Structure 1
Amino acid sequence: MNKARETVLEIDLGALEHNYKYLRSKLNSETRFLSVVKAYAYGSEVQGVAKRLEALGTDYFAVAYTSEGITLREAGITRPILVLHPLPAHFEDIIRYNLEPSLYNKYVLNEFIRSARKLHCSEYPVHIKINTGLNRLGFWENDTDLITEELEHAPELKIRSIFSHLAASEDKNEREFTLGQINSFKNTAARLIKKLGYKPLLHQLNTSGILNYTHEAEFDMVRSGIGLYGFGNEAKYDQELKPVVSLKSVISQIHDIEPGESVGYNRSFIADSYRRTATIPVGHADGITRIYGNRKGELSIHGKKAPIIGNVCMDMLMVDITDIPCSEGDEVIIFGESPTAAEFAERAGTISYELLTAISQRVKRVLINETTSP
């Protein structure tokens, strides 16, 4: 493989396939799998990722917003697509592009009924979101009568699934709370199914749920986002998964810094001894924010750690390479296998999700291992 000659985000579709198969191995064979590809597939490259997952047999996709679902349809994706946070302004587009909305309160339910009626739909698939404790979106547990009363006069819709979202499935200290969410969902779904007279799909488990709660709540389908991209929110699972995304760059210039000289804006780094520094063409406009400056972030050059010194600039950052033999044009690993995105993010007090999804679209995306394994 050629070394990076510029700042690139590599997306390893072979690693994606490994992660998908690993997560699938935790499930019963009949359990359906929903792949979450919102936010450009967690900051990677959504078309390539979605096409590989569709080839692997994922049953469903999920996106946050309607525009993301339209992008998938225009790329040729044919699997069902759940829109997790649809807005009424886009309901007609949802129907035109054969997307499936999550309906989470009376207002959006009635607005979608109006749109479906206007476009002469019949039994259009929708998903009912139940709030069991995350307190973000969702009908309340005692809203089952409200839901069925509205749907009784709306043949335009049919519930495809009932689902909820766990708040702390990765935290073993919150097991009691998580089990309470699961029981609440079971009871609410059972009441709703009884009133409907038919059984939609049920799903509640996210990545950490798949890894920690399949015995209690596998239901008909599971959802995975961050796990597909290589992170299980726990060290033992991270070892089983493979990072899909690597941010790589090159050394643009090397400087010899004398004691007392400064590096970068506001002179936030002042050398107390002779130092060598390297300038890397990536900055806060690319998603490596200023929080990583002043030795909070470390990159890898020839397998050795190079701390970021001074303030991160908009388009560049500087690292200390005093103890690393290297030259201008050499490759730099910002995150990938080592350090991983989780490790890099942790040093700045954040999480892999935030780091991955923050990588600017101006960074060139490169797909590798594009051939599906037999």
Structure 2
Amino acid sequence: MSQTSETVLEIDLSALEHNYNYLRSKLSPNTKMLGVVKAFAYGSDSVAIAKRLSKIGIDYFAVAYTREGIALRKGGIQKPILVLHPQSTNFEEVIENDLLPNIYSKFTLEAFIETAEKLQLKKYPIHLKINTGLNRLGFDLDEMNWIAETLASTESVKVEGIFSHLAASEDEAERDFTKYQIENYQKALDTLLPQLDFPPIRHLCNTSGIINYPEAHYDMVRTGIGLYGFGNCAEEDKKLKPVGTLKTIISQIHHIKKGESVGYNRGFKAASATKTATLPLGHADGINRIYGKEKTGVLVNGYHAPIIGNVCMDMLMIDISGIDCKEGDEVILFGKEKSAEEFAHNAGTISYELITSISQRVKRKLIN
């Protein structure tokens, strides 16, 4: 990778391809793969990511909201796109853009049927979400017969897929709960499938489910965080490659005397003479205040430099005492040399939150 002269998020498409191929190797040849590209493809570039995944063989995509699916369509993505959390007010836009709605409640099923019938549609594809224990979105198991009766009363929609979501598939201590969820999902299928006239795509596993529960791969699996280089455990992380590398530069170096302070509210007070550097990114760029006060750090010429004081909106300061560096030198916050998981964990959060928080004002640069 080249040296940067500004704050930039490098997006390594060859790393994405490596991760895709690794996860695909866990599947039988007939199992489809859905790539989750919500939240700007986990903070990167949803259209660029979707284009490369389309090229190398992904079967489906998923986004959280309707406008994310529309952005993919405008970017030229033609693969099926599942909208995981659509709102009824957007159902006409879902249909106009040939998106697949996740129908997760009596209200959304009735509202989507009403919209589809108003537009005189026949067999518009939908996916049904079953609540198997996450208790976030989804039909309860005792609603399966109601779903079947409701679907039998209309020709406007057809069930293309039935899915659920695992709550703790990465956690060995919650293995019994995950098996309980798999059993609940199968119970829902056993009730609903005999009442349908079309065999739907069954999908349950997320990234950790792909790795830990091969018996539950069904017809399709969904992967989000795994595509971007994180396997939810250290062992799997080693087999994946981070797609994003966040870089910046040293704007200015200061020599702080003992007793002097740095930043807002005097968040850092020097116990001894200290050399600091100011970097041109802050909480408006996604490096939140939780990362300040030496909870985590960055790499300067290969050496760890803690973030000191309070992170500002557009700047943060680091302690570079003892590090040979100069203004204009490159600084790495996370990437291949220092993982986003490590950066986030040290501040008490998770890689998902860190990488999806990187602001859209940070320049994206595609490589490979």
Place the TM-score, normalised by the shorter chain, in its bin: over 0.9
The corresponding residue for 2:258 is 259
Paired residue secondary structure (2:136): coil
The corresponding residue for 2:296 is 297
Shift of 1:51: 0.2
Query: Which ranges of structure 1 fall in alignment gaps of 5 or more residues?
Result: 370-374
Deviations 1:125-161 (A, max 9, x none): 0000000000000000111111011111110100000
Shift of 1:118: 1.4
Deviations 1:216-248 (A, max 9, x none): 201000000000000000010000000001110
Q: Which amino acid aligns with 2:253?
A: I
Query: Which ranges of structure 2 fall in alignment gaps of 5 or more residues?
Result: none
Give runs of aligned pairs for residues 150-165 of structure 1, distance below 5 A. Answer: 150-165=150-165
Deviations 1:322-364 (A, max 9, x none): 1110000000001111321111000111101100111111101
Paired residue secondary structure (2:89): helix
Deviations 1:21-66 (A, max 9, x none): 0000000011000000000000101110000000011100000000
Q: Which amino acid aligns with 2:345?
A: E
What is the TM-score of this pair, normalised by structure 2? 0.99
Deviations 1:145-185 (A, max 9, x none): 11011111110100000000000000000000100100110
Check if 1:35 corresponds to 2:30: no
RMSD across aligned positions (CA): 0.7
Q: Which amino acid aligns with 1:209?
A: G
Rounded to whole Å, the distance in 1 between the matches of 2:74 and 2:118 is: 24
Shift of 1:2: 2.9
Moved segments of 4+, more than 2 Å: none
Shift of 1:258: 1.1
Q: Which amino acid aligns with 1:226?
A: I
Paired residue secondary structure (2:138): coil
Give runs of aligned pairs for residues 227-246 of structure 1, distance below 5 A. Answer: 227-246=226-245
The corresponding residue for 2:58 is 58
The corresponding residue for 1:208 is 208
Rounded to whole Å, the distance in 2 between the matches of 1:129 and 1:203 is: 10
Rounded to whole Å, the distance in 2 between the matches of 1:178 and 1:293 is: 36
Paired residue secondary structure (1:26): coil
**Could you tell me whether the CA contact under 8 Å between 2:4 and 2:248 is conserved in 1?**
yes
Shift of 1:319: 0.5
Rounded to whole Å, the distance in 1 between the matches of 2:236 and 2:99 is: 32
Rounded to whole Å, the distance in 2 between the matches of 1:359 and 1:86 is: 24
Rounded to whole Å, the distance in 2 between the matches of 1:15 and 1:132 is: 33
Paired residue secondary structure (2:317): strand
The corresponding residue for 2:170 is 170
The corresponding residue for 2:68 is 68
The corresponding residue for 1:5 is 5
Paired residue secondary structure (1:237): helix
- Alignment length, in residue pairs? 368
Deviations 1:87-124 (A, max 9, x none): 00000000000000000111100100011111121110
The corresponding residue for 1:313 is 312
The corresponding residue for 1:372 is none
Check if 1:271 corresponds to 2:270: yes
